[in-house]
């Protein structure tokens, strides 16, 4: 078998990175992100793939299996870039021979016979003892408490059982990213992010909708409070979030303004005893069960201010079930929730929310007076962490799909042999394993950056790249199951439909690529 050569792998990564740099400079000098959207989108994904590959090099040095998975992944990244570049060299501002120096490496590590030989090797994770314990604890809970309910919740679109939420609260899930000073477990270092990523992956491996996504909304609200909340607000809300005493939903998107947050219309009007909220939000996940909503509203009616006229409120509400609700305040304000049926991601339930003069206390404006007009920035502070957490959710779904495909392939006999014996199946499993491990290492890498106050663009990269990868992995896992993959009898069909939402929420793929990643790349050139 070909021996891994990380020096060659690193050289191939740098060759690919050079192409990305050339294209970025070309876009900055002769085009624009808004006018050249196809190039900007492909460039963003190429840049994310290169950074994912770069994060694999340290992992590849840990052993022979690790090195082989690294080389397989790097070869795939360069080959994918070549496909984007071919016949579009002029658009990219690159030479046709830009990747030629990597041809021999890519040829070796995309060889079908070699890929087939590497099947069944998904590589160790090399976690420290502390994080092995985190993984084992949440995996055990997921397998014993979540997995038995996952299919029922998905097929019947039921609410998440309260014992699951309570059990995760007792394990400290909701306090993983909240500082110790406010009742959580975060010490302000890399371990905070590692713990969150590992716990999220293990829970999502059992069910994205029933467990893996429960920490997302508390994570976003906690970060927004840390970024802009008053000390009194932090003392009031963070300990309750950490303990799971309250659960929250996030109300940002509106029917006419999806990712275009700056133009939202839901209004907050000042009155003597607080603010009156009026308007419609949509895609507010977990809204019925939530005790509070993190709501972005326009506090300045001057729409020319764009995002500078927005503020964030913590909006208390009563709990309701997952089949629609209408709440009324003593003063006459109403909040009505209409459930939105979805093909996957069930259990969390998404809603369209209609507010009519819903009163929110003045002290629930995050930052109070100093927070007016700062809501967009506080929201983004929360969403950066939410994107890393979403990548971890994608990891769990991919891992579950890979394990299901591997097991099924070993037991399913076709034409007299297990389908795991066929070259095509084995090559697919190898590429799936390499991609999952690379995604995992990139998530860890981004967590290390964010612990230092860095990695804002990389958080968008990991979300965009890993969530799109999850679609491919779950599709291939479903395909390996053949006709049974299309039957709800097998969980792989749930993984497939759940994976599809990952590139849509917490920042749609196209928006992240065009508005965040590509623009950040171009801005770095201009700087």
Give the tens place of pLDDT for each residue, 246-287.
999 999 999 977 667 777 899 999 999 899 999 999 999 999
- Taken as a whole, the chain contains a residue count of 527
φ, ψ of residue 325 to 5 degrees: the values are -160, 160
Do the beta carbons of residue 163 and residue 149 sit within 8 Å?
A: no
Give the three-class secondary structure for 520.
helix
pLDDT at 186: 86
User: Contacts for 506-509 with beta carbons within 8 Å, 24 or more apart?
Assistant: 506/216, 506/383, 506/386, 506/387, 506/390, 506/463, 507/259, 507/383, 507/387, 507/460, 507/463, 507/464, 508/258, 508/259, 509/464, 509/467, 509/468
Which H/E stretch holds residue 271?
Answer: strand 267-271
User: Which pLDDT score, from 0 to 100, does residue 90 have?
Assistant: 93
- Please check whether residue 43 is in contact with residue 23, taking contact to mean a CB–CB distance below 8 angstroms: yes
Contact 459, 451 (CB under 8 A): no
Distance of CA 171 to the CA centre of its chain: 22
- CA dist., res. 65 & res. 41, Å (int): 33
Per-residue model confidence (pLDDT) at position 525: 84
Structure confidence at residue 322 (pLDDT): 74
Distances (CA, A) of 402 to 336, 376, 395: 40, 38, 10
- Find all residues with CB under 8 Å of 143, minimum gap 6, and list them: 206
Please give the C-alpha separations between residue 109 and each of 2, 83, 211, in angstroms, as whole numbers: 8, 17, 37
Query: Which tokens sit at 36?
Result: 């050249």
- Catalytic residue (choose from 64, 368, 506, 510): 506
φ/ψ of 438, rounded to 5, equals -65, -45
Among the listed residues 167, 166, 185, 168, the one whose alpha carbon sits nearest the alpha carbon of residue 177: 185
d(CA 20, CA 348): 38
Write out residues in the chain with pLDDT < 70, as ranges. 1, 258-259, 526-527
Q: How far is CA 390 from CA 117, 204, 217, 311, 319, in A?
A: 32, 10, 11, 24, 25
Q: How far is CA 350 from CA 215, 353, 516, in A?
A: 16, 10, 26
Structure-block tokens of residue 485: 């993959």
- Which pLDDT belongs to residue 258? 64
The answer to whether 510 is a known catalytic residue is no
Report how far residue 203's alpha carbon sits from residue 393's, in angstroms, rounded to the nearest whole number. 8
Predicted TM-score (pTM) of the model is 0.93
Question: Which superfamily does 248-374 belong to?
Answer: Butyryl-CoA Dehydrogenase, subunit A, domain 2 (2.40.110.10)
Radius of gyration of the chain (CA): 23
Structure tokens at 175: 């306090």
Q: CATH 2.40.110.10 in the chain, residues?
A: 248-374
Whole-number pLDDT of residue 263: 79
- The alpha-helical segments, DSSP class H, found in 359-508 are 375-411, 423-451, 456-480, 492-502
């Amino acid at each position: 078998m070909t021996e891994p050569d990380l020096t060659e792998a690193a050289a191939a990564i740098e060759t690919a990175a050079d192409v990305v740099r050339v294209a970025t400079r070309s876009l900055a000098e002769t085009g624009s992100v808004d006018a050249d959207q196809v190039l900007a989108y492909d460039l963003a994904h190429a840049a994310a793939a290169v950074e994912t590959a770069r994060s694999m090099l340290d992992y590849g040095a840990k052993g022979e299996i690790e090195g082989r998975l690294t080389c397989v992944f790097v070869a795939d990244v360069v080959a994918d870039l070549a496909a984007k570049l071919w016949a579009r060299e002029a658009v990219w501002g690159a030479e046709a021979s830009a990747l030629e120096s990597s041809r021999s490496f890519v040829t070796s590590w995309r060889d079908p016979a070699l890929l087939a030989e590497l099947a069944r090797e998904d590589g160790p994770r090399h976690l420290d003892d502390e994080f092995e314990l985190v993984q084992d604890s949440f995996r055990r809970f997921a397998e014993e408490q979540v997995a038995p309910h996952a299919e029922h919740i998905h097929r019947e679109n039921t609410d998440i059982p309260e014992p699951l939420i309570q059990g995760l609260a007792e394990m400290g899930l909701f306090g993983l990213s909240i500082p110790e000073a406010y009742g959580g477990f975060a010490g302000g270092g890399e371990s905070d992010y590692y713990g969150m990523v590992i716990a999220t992956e293990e829970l999502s491996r059992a069910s994205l909708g029933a467990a893996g996504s429960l920490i997302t909304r508390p994570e976003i609200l906690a970060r927004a409070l840390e970024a802009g909340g008053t000390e009194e607000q932090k003392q009031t809300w963070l300990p309750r979030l950490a303990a799971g005493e309250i659960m929250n939903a996030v109300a940002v998107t509106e029917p006419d303004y999806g990712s275009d947050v700056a133009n939202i219309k839901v209004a907050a009007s000042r009155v003597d005893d607080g603010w009156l909220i009026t308007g419609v939000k949509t895609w507010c996940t977990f809204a019925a069960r939530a005790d509070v909503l993190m709501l972005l509203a326009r506090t300045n009616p001057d729409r020319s201010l764009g995002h500078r006229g927005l503020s964030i409120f913590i909006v208390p509400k009563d709990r309701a079930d997952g089949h629609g609700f209408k709440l009324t305040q003593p003063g006459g304000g109403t909040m009505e929730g209409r459930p939105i049926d979805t093909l996957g991601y069930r259990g969390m339930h998404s809603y369209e929310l209609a507010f009519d003069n819903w009163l929110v206390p003045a002290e629930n404006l995050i930052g109070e007076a100093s927070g007016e007009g700062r809501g967009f920035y506080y929201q983004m502070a929360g969403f950066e962490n939410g994107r890393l957490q979403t990548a971890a959710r994608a990891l769990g779904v991919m891992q579950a799909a890979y394990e299901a495909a591997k097991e099924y392939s070993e037991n399913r006999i076709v034409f007299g042999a297990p389908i795991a014996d066929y070259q095509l199946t084995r090559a697919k499993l190898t590429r799936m394993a390499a991609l999952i491990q690379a995604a995992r290492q990139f998530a860890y890498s981004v967590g290390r950056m964010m612990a230092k106050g860095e990695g804002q663009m990389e958080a968008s990269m990991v979300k965009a790249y890993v969530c799109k990868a999850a679609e491919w992995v779950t599709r291939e896992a479903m395909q390996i199951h053949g006709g049974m993959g299309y039957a709800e009898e097998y969980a792989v069909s749930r993984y497939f439909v759940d994976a599809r939402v990952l590139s849509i929420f917490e920042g749609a793929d196209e928006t992240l690529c065009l508005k965040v990643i590509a623009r950040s790349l171009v801005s770095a050139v201009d700087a």
